[in-house]
Amino acid sequence: MSDVRHVLVLPDREAAEEVAGELPDRFGVTEEPQIVRDALAGEDDAEDAQWLVVVEDPASRLDSAALDAFAGEYEGWLEAP
């Protein structure tokens, strides 16, 4: 087994929570995704934060292009490894 982790970058917490909630149905994710606030460098304002959804993929079965397109539906993207 490899240690594969996908990081989806979303514009706000609401989008991140929706994405995390849909991952099991759309992609069969069994482990609960982690939602992490990522403040942009040098920014103190909470409005300038990105939200990350971290998806563990130990079997390397998730399609990166499909995850990127899914994140794009919420104005986000899949972070390149």
Q: pLDDT value at position 39?
A: 75
- Using DSSP's 3-state secondary structure scheme, residue 39 falls into strand
pLDDT tens track, the chain, 81 positions: 456 999 999 999 999 999 999 999 999 999 999 999 987 655 555 556 899 999 999 889 999 999 999 999 999 999 987
Give the number of other Cβ atoms within 10 Å of residue 2's Cβ.
8
Closest CA to 22 of 55, 45, 47: 55
